Structure 1
């Protein structure tokens, strides 16, 4: 079976067509970042443009979102010096769940030095959502975007800590001073969170200031803390959750263990008290390890990893209602295109071809494999028409293929 992924969407910056990651890192080349910084060391990029990230979020956008805080209490956090205050409990203690009370409760703590955190804002704010989908498809990892609003006056939300995911910090408004203490635990797993009881070094290894338009990359495991300057600070933290070798191996091993009963039988009764049984146990374990290694197929494991990556992105169905309404207008010359922020995988077998996207699979017979491949691989650029699809499929067949992919949400009208 062959498995392929779609290409990422692109952005325009300074007249150049660039990807989401390249746009964030500019002028640092993506290849330089991958070779010298990714999972290795921190990177500070200054764009010398306070509005560089304004298309994603502004201070006024945050103000607008806070006005609606009552509808999303579970996504708002209030933090000061590492101590968290529950917004839901705060509102309940005031004897009301009305919007005015919720907004005032949040602002009351902000005025006295607390940081307001808007979790997973990419799920509710379309510019961040589009960018998260684009970035996730490009890097084959799941991004999560939280927004931090800290008042001016040397205020700090979280105490020094490290994250178990890589972090891009995009300074949107104001400035923030960051203290970096090095890596306390190199590339920790999710099961290895920061222990606040561990002592910090007496001095930070690096102190730097992020101004509006700057970016800071921190590999997971880097101990860090941020403090506001004279004015309010807004930054977007992009937590990147990559697929680890450990996860791929664990999933594959788990599947083998579940499929073969030999791995599910018990050790000999009384083995802990018997030397001969312990030697027999050792021999059996050796046989099982060899069997396990023989059952782990790198090609299959890679294909499963590709499918996992394709499923990372959100379900992207913007304008889908309009597409469904317009299906009857589809003609051989109508221009359509693949959704730019769509994560997908193409799987081919002797029996046919399937497109995997939006956490589902759409299957087609083998004789249209070439046409489906063309639509998937070439649909992300300028619009194409059903009549322009190469292959042996006749015109009615090409119309049916395009209509089915419009109906399923893989394509959209150009």
Structure 2
């Protein structure tokens, strides 16, 4: 974090070992970053117990009692995805929304060998939400979470690759994973495996890079593009997949081009009409290329990058009743802290966050810089009026002493 008043942000990776080192890998963070990240697969045996994150009971709770709707669940078998209408229905009087999960239909599909895919668990299951928030903060890349629940001796999907990196955490049962090296390394988000279907099928017939059975407590890291297929063994398999939507150099290039075009829009010469004619732009291309190159050199993508980064995540949950109690009961000794996962950034006297932006008088800027450390502060320490304003804005939340 920058210590200046004009460029400060909330803390990124935690001090000391974070969840990456303590929960997902048995090598150091630096070694992982240097030798593994985005380069190769990594299998880690018995890295820990994941039952605090997810379980069989959690599956039943979400499907039978939470009133989940599509697209929070998919159903798949042998490479085919079921239509939503086959496992959704209205929930009756007072809950007639037609796309709610039908637990009876899901049970019948599951009993017939289908895999249940609980999607976006970072939005629906608190332990997973807290974990993915911490991991995303450490990695600097957005993280999502899905759970795959597969009956014995079945598999939901054929050989394929993902367009994001993944950590696979085996929760219950066992599952055999067959992994091959990429046919299209580092695919972008608009380059799915179906574009290379024939190459994927051919590669899957070759010798596997990894052929192993994951047991509870095992973790597997796969960079985007690595081919994989998995099949449950003698019992129901449950695993979590943490999808890491990596920022790429191509994404930065897109932002650079966007910033350059914005600069060119302010140049009167670039807004003029091309000459009449039917032969195309002709010599105009070289002149435009020269101006575009100059604009790229002058473009500053910092604001675009941070805006895009904020837009790809969500802040920590906010309880409106607890927040109202904090506002109405605010005293000088009231403890508060920065809301987690805000992606807060102070530039000059403007604070930008995932919940909007706020401008401050110069007198408040030092206090705003202090609150960005993520530690617990009192209203007296920061200023009661400032704290009240930030509680109402959803930037600060009440904290335990």
Give the TM-score normalised by the residue count of structure 1: 0.83
Residue in structure 2 matched with residue 126 of structure 1 by the alignment: 126
Secondary structure at 1:294's aligned position in 2? helix
Instruction: Please report how far the alpha carbon of residue 159 of structure 1 lies from its aligned counterpart in structure 2 after TM superposition.
Output: 0.7
Aligned to 1:284: 287
**In the alignment, which residue of structure 1 is the partner of 2:396?**
411
Q: Does 1:29 align with 2:11?
A: no
TM alignment of 1:70-219, pairs within 5 A? 71-91=68-88, 102-153=102-153, 155-195=154-194, 196-198=197-199, 199-201=201-203, 202-203=205-206, 204-219=208-223
**Separation in structure 2 between the aligned mates of residue 287 and residue 3 of structure 1, nearest angstrom:** 33
Superposed displacement of residue 263, structure 1: 4.7
Checking the alignment, whether the CA contact within 8 Å between 2:174 and 2:235 is kept in structure 1 is: yes
Change (3 A) 1:98 1:272: closer
Query: Which stretch of structure 1 is more off in the superposition, 260-269 or 338-347?
Result: 260-269
Q: Distance in 1 between matches of 2:161 and 2:273?
A: 40
SS in 2 for 1:242: coil
Pairing 1:401–2:386 present? yes
Give the Å deviation of 1:131: 1.8
For residues 41 and 403 of structure 1, do their structure 2 counterparts lie closer, same or farther at Cα, with a shift above 3 Å needed?
Answer: same
Are the equivalent residues in 1 in contact too, given 2:177–2:230 (CA < 8 A)? yes
Secondary structure at the counterpart of residue 401 of structure 1: helix
Question: Whole-Å Cα distance in 1 between the matches of residues 83 and 286 of structure 2?
Answer: 55
CA contact (8 A) 1:79 1:158 kept: yes
Q: Which runs of 5+ in 1 are unaligned?
A: 12-16, 390-397
Q: TM-score under structure 2 normalisation? A: 0.86
Q: Please list the CA deviations of residues 100-152 of structure 1 after superposition, one character each: whole Å capped at 9, or x if unmatched.
A: 99212111121121111111122111111222222223322221111100011
User: Matches of 1:156 and 1:223 in 2, distance apart?
Assistant: 15
- The DSSP-based 3-state class of the residue aligned with 1:346 is strand
Is the 1:39–1:166 contact (alpha carbons within 8 Å) kept by the matching residues of 2? Answer: yes
CA distance in 2 between counterparts of 1:342 and 1:99 reads 31
Paired residue for 2:250, among 226, 235, 246? 246
Spell out, residue by residue over 1:19-63, the C-alpha distance to the aligned partner (whole angstroms, 9 max, x if none). 2323333422111111111110011112354xx111111111111
Report the 3-state secondary structure (helix = DSSP H, G, I; strand = E; otherwise coil) of the residue aligned with 2:198.
Answer: coil
Aligned residue pair count: 383
For each residue in 1:186-244, what CA deviation from the matched residue of structure 2 results, as whole angstroms up to 9, or x when unmatched?
11111211132333222322212211111111111111111111111111111111222
Find the counterpart in structure 1 of residue 377 from structure 2.
384
Contact 2:70/2:101 (<8 A) preserved: no
- Superposed, 1:280-359 pairs within 5 Å as 280-296=283-299, 300-348=300-348, 353-359=349-355
How many angstroms apart in 1 are the aligned matches of 2:271 and 2:296?
A: 16
CA distance in 1, matches of 2:318, 2:78: 40
Change (3 A) 1:71 1:306: closer
Which whole-Å CA distance do the structure 1 matches of 2:344 and 2:321 have between them?
A: 21
User: Matches of 1:100 and 1:384 in 2, distance apart?
Assistant: 43
Instruction: Name 1:255's counterpart in structure 2.
Output: 259
Q: Tell me if the contact between 1:26 and 1:47 (Cα under 8 Å) persists in the aligned partners.
A: no
Q: Quick check: 2:47–2:219 contact (8 Å CA) kept in 1?
A: no
**CA separation of 1:148 and 1:406: change in aligned 2, threshold 3 A:** same
Specify every segment of 5 or more residues in structure 2 that has no aligned partner in the other structure, as ranges: 90-95
Q: Deviations over 1:77-103 (max 9, x none)?
A: 1111111111324557xxx99999921
Other structure's SS at 1:170 match: strand
1:2–1:227 Cα change, 3 Å: farther
After superposition, the Cα gap between the structure-2 partners of 1:325 and 1:180, relative to the gap in structure 1 and judged at 3 Å, is: same
Residues 8 and 19 of structure 1 are in contact (CA less than 8 Å); yes or no, is this contact kept in structure 2? no
Structure 1 residues 344 and 265: CA distance shift in structure 2, 3 A: same
The structure-2 alpha-carbon separation of the partners of 1:269 and 1:229, relative to structure 1 and needing over 3 Å to count, comes to farther
Structure 2 residue corresponding to 1:364, chosen from 355, 360, 365: 360
